[in-house]
Amino acid sequence: MREIDQEIADRLAAMGVVPLIGGLIPEKATAALLGYSPAYMRQQASRGLAPLPFVMRGNRRFYRVGDIRAFALDTA
């Protein structure tokens, strides 16, 4: 699991994104990590079909690093 954590950290650093306290990542960076467009992530979340659970801060969605890791490792 250490390997995926390092890859996530490296990709976030390359994008210039620093996770917030609690490991929260902005929606745009999450979409880039997972290979989705930010518009797709927004549309799915507004329909109640977000691929990952999110946390609202004002009118912005943030995703937890732990949830991103679990999603990336799920090979169902």
Structure tokens at 8: 């996530």
Threshold 0.85, pTM exceeds: yes
Structure tokens at 60: 């912005």
CB neighbour list of residue 32: distance below 8 Å, 6 or more residues apart: 11, 15, 38
For the stretch 13-60, pLDDT in tens is: 999 999 999 899 999 999 999 999 999 999 999 999 998 999 999 999
Tell me the Cα Rg of the chain.
12
pLDDT for 1:
60
CB neighbour list of residue 6: distance below 8 Å, 6 or more residues apart: none
Domain that holds residue 47: 2-73
Split into its structural domains, the chain has a count of: 1
Q: Give the CATH number for residue 8.
A: 1.10.1660
pLDDT for 38:
93
Report the C-alpha dihedral over residues 13, 6, 75, 19, rounded to 10 degrees.
Answer: -40
